Amino acid sequence: MKKGNFFTKKQFVVAAMVLALGGAIWLNMQYSASSGGFLNSSSNSTKNLGDTKYVSADDAVETSAKVDTYIESAKKERTETREKATKLIEDTLKKTNLTEAEKNNAVKSLEQEAKNVLAESNIETTLKAKGFADVLALISENSVTVMVKTDDSLLSSQTLQIQDAVLAEKEIPLEKIKIVTVK
């Protein structure tokens, strides 16, 4: 070992990837609707956009167009699962008796996870900008699932918008893109 070299190039790359993955997870939590992050910090927590009030002769009953349904719980579950997976990979990298191949596989796993987090976030942001109210993108090894909250079935133009947003982020055949509507 040369004097003055505290970190090797591989250790620096691993540290950078861990920091990038942590930053991506933090940004995902900040921008998700369930965390009350940057986007929701100015909203009133007692009223929701889309709340309606039905009035009868007897009394008024307030109902909420709840978005905290399946998509919100799936986003929370996705975040928790990612945090567990990241911790497992980081723990694996901390082991001293790993071979070079095992370390490379762990680093590749971290890199792929960071890419998937970024791609999912980009897909969700793009679709929200195109007018979809609530969206969840899930990228697996060989498929992409996009869940969209809608009251009606999707129009063919909306399906094409979803496919376009996915294809802009990940090269995948169209038959591997699954679109699920959530009522």
Across the chain, mean pLDDT equals 75
**58/134: higher pLDDT:** 134
User: Does 160 fall in a domain?
Assistant: yes
User: Does 47 fall in a domain?
Assistant: no
Closest CA to 34 of 136, 108, 109: 136
pLDDT in tens, 49-68: 555 555 444 443 333 344 45
The DSSP letter of residue 168 is H
**171/8: higher pLDDT:** 171
On the 0-12 / 13-18 / 19+ scale of CB atoms within 10 A, 106 is buried
Residue 42 has pLDDT above 50, yes or no: no
Q: Please, what is the angle between helix 70-94 and helix 9-31, to 10°?
A: 160
**23/130: higher pLDDT:** 130
User: Does 102 fall in a domain?
Assistant: yes
Identify any residues that bridge with 181 across adjacent strands, giving them in sequence order: 148
User: Does 151 fall in a domain?
Assistant: yes
User: Does 46 fall in a domain?
Assistant: no
Number of domains observed in the structure of the chain: 1
User: Does 81 fall in a domain?
Assistant: yes
- In this prediction, residue 178 has a pLDDT band, given cuts at 50, 70 and 90, of very high
The model's pTM is: 0.56
Here the tokens at position 173 are: 């055949």
Domain extent, residue 155, equals 9-35+65-182
Closest CA to 161 of 135, 133, 126, 134: 126
**What is the pLDDT averaged over residues 162-173?**
92
Residue 137 has pLDDT above 60, yes or no: yes
Amino acid at 26: W
Per DSSP bridges, beta strands 177-182 and 144-149 are: parallel
What pLDDT shows up at residue 32? 64
User: Does 141 fall in a domain?
Assistant: yes
Residue 7 has pLDDT above 60, yes or no: yes
pLDDT in tens, 94-121: 777 778 888 788 888 888 888 888 898 8
Residue 2 has pLDDT above 60, yes or no: no
- In this prediction, residue 144 has a pLDDT band, given cuts at 50, 70 and 90, of very high
User: Does 51 fall in a domain?
Assistant: no
Q: Any idea what the CATH number is for the domain that residue 151 is in? A: 1.10.287.4300
